[in-house]
Amino acid sequence: MSLALALVAAALFSCGTYLLLQRTLTRIILGIALLGHGTVLLLQVSGGRAGEVPLVGPGDSTEGVVDPLPEALALTAIVITFGITAFLLAIAYRSWVLSRSDEVQDDIEDRRVARARDAAERRRFEAEYEDELTEFADDEPAGGAER
């Protein structure tokens, strides 16, 4: 196995992972493209050492001929990555048209549920400590206004 190929695959994987963890969709797409290249290289490396072109007729010796299967797999993987990248770019464009930003947003519904729970807790807290809170009731509005 070629050390150079393995190192290049490792570099592609680490850069791809770094980009994938970003918040902007454009960077995520670039990250996925890099990861895709990394996997294709890895598929090549998994086939073993480099060798002769795998074009043999009946009766020819297969000695020193490279394994053609990983190459076929790599071709399929390249086509799929290409299609997906195009689709992701379309989504990123649509997202930009709709909201003028390509940051991946949080789940709004999830945050709504979390906020509802916080509000319920605050109400319970206020009911529990009502006496203590009313003691400072006079200072409260003034302080709030200043802030």
Partner 1 sequence: MRVLVPLVVVLPLLGAAVALLAAGSRPAQRLISVATLAMTCGIGVAILVGVEADGIAAVQVGAWEAPIGITLAVDLMAGLFLLVSLLTVLVVLVFAIGQDADHRRIFHPSYLVLTAGVSMSFVAGDLFNLFVAFEVMLIASYVLITLGATREQIRAGMTYVVINLTASTLFVTTIAFVYAATGTLNFADLAERFPVLPDAVRLGIGLALLVVFGVKAAIFPLFGWLPDSYPTAPTSITAVFAGLLTKVGVYAIIRTQTILGLEDLGGLILVVAGLTMIIGVLGAIAQDDVKRILSFHIISQIGYMIMGLGLWTAAGLAGAVIYVVHQIPVKTVLFLVGGLVEHTTGTGTLSRVGGLLRRAPVIAVLFLLPALSLAGIPPFSGFVAKLALVEAGLGREAWVIVGVALVGSILTLVSMTKIWAGVFWGEPDEAPPIAASMLAERLRPPPVMTGATVAAVALTLGIAIVAGPLYELSARAASDLVDPAAYIAAVNGS
| Residues near partner 1 (CB under 8 A), total | 38
Distance of CA 141 to the CA centre of its chain: 47
The correct pick among 3, 55, 108, 142 for binding partner 1 (CB under 8 A) is 108
Judged by CB under 8 A, does residue 98 bind partner 1?
yes
- Tallying the residues shown for the chain, one arrives at 147
Judged by CB under 8 A, does residue 12 bind partner 1?
no
What is the pattern of x (binds partner 1, CB under 8 A) and - over residues 46-65?
xx------------------
Q: Which residues bind partner 1 (CB under 8 A)?
A: 20, 25, 28, 32, 35-36, 38-39, 42-43, 45-47, 69-70, 73, 76-77, 80, 83-84, 87-88, 91-92, 94-95, 98-99, 104-105, 107-110, 113, 116-117
